[in-house]
């Protein structure tokens, strides 16, 4: 019985060390947020709309892809508080600022979704869309087809799934 308590204490200590080491290894010293069991995160809510960009290439097929746009990396997430998030309208998309920074692209290292057949290839208009940026480090991307969309944040996210 004593041996089981010693083993349990050692396991708890090791787990605590791993969490602590992980916190030290991330910028700012705190671990990147992990989505909950339902894949949702509470990162606050967006402020005012800052800008809208047309023609942004992205395909968030697995919800763990990142988007590099205008020198920032955006991480896909599902808000835990969707009622606090605005839904961009067709008027927002029509007032889009042209994307003059070149073509933004999904930048998930090592991911070759279409060549490996791991995810469904994008349909017409699924991998190009409109990016709406909000105060507070949030953005919303919706495909030109209207079939694919996601909320994004600057805050680095550690995903607990592999696509």
C-alpha distances in Å from residue 57, one per residue of 26, 62, 163: 28, 15, 20
Within-domain flag for 159: no
The reported pLDDT for the residue numbered 62 is 87
What's CA 163's distance to the chain center, in Å?
14
Q: Counting beta carbons within 10 angstroms of the beta carbon of residue 140, is it exposed (0 to 12), middle (13 to 18) or buried (19 or more)?
A: buried
Number of domains comprising the chain: 2
**pLDDT recorded at residue 163:** 74
- pLDDT band at residue 120, thresholds of 50, 70 and 90? confident
pLDDT at position 6: 38
pLDDT recorded at residue 36: 60
- Report if residue 117 sits inside a domain: yes
Number of neighbours of residue 39 by Cβ within 10 angstroms: 14
51 and 117 belong to one structural domain: yes
Residue range 1-17: average pLDDT?
43
Looking at the fold, whether 60 and 80 belong to one and the same domain comes out as yes
Check whether residue 3 and residue 57 sit in a common domain. Answer: no
Residues 60, 130 within the same domain: yes
User: What residues contact residue 152 under an 8 Å CB cut-off, 6+ apart?
Assistant: 67, 74, 75, 76, 77, 131, 138, 139, 140, 141
In which domain, by residue range, is 24 found?
Answer: 1-31
Q: Is residue 162 part of a domain?
A: no
Scan for tokens 């602590």, then name that residue: 20
Q: In terms of domains, do 65 and 87 share one?
A: yes
pLDDT at 25 over 80: no
Same domain, 41 and 55: yes
Strands (E), 38-136: 40-41, 49-57, 66-69, 72-79, 105-106, 128-134
Q: Are residues 144 and 119 in the same domain?
A: yes
Separation in Å, CA 78 to CA 39, 69, 113? 6, 20, 21
Average pLDDT on 73-93 reads 80
How large is the C-alpha radius of gyration of the chain?
Answer: 19
Q: Which residue intervals of 25-131 are DSSP H helices?
A: 90-94, 113-116
pTM, full prediction: 0.63
């Amino acid at each position: 019985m004593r041996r089981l308590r010693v083993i349990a204490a050692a396991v708890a200590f090791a787990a605590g060390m791993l969490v602590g080491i992980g916190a030290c290894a991330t910028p700012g010293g705190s671990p990147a947020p992990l989505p909950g069991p339902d894949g949702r995160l509470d990162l606050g809510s967006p402020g005012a709309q800052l800008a809208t960009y047309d023609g942004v290439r992205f395909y968030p097929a697995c919800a763990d892809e990142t988007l590099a746009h205008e020198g920032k990396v955006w991480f896909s997430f599902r808000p835990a508080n969707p009622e606090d998030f605005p839904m961009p309208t067709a008027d927002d998309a029509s007032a889009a600022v042209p994307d003059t920074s070149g073509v933004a692209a999904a930048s998930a290292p090592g991911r070759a979704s279409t060549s490996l057949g791991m995810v469904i290839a994008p349909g017409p208009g699924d991998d190009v869309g409109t990016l709406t940026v909000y105060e507070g480090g949030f953005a919303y991307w919706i495909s030109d087809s209207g079939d694919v969309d996601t909320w994004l944040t600057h805050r680095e996210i550690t995903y607990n799934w592999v696509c």
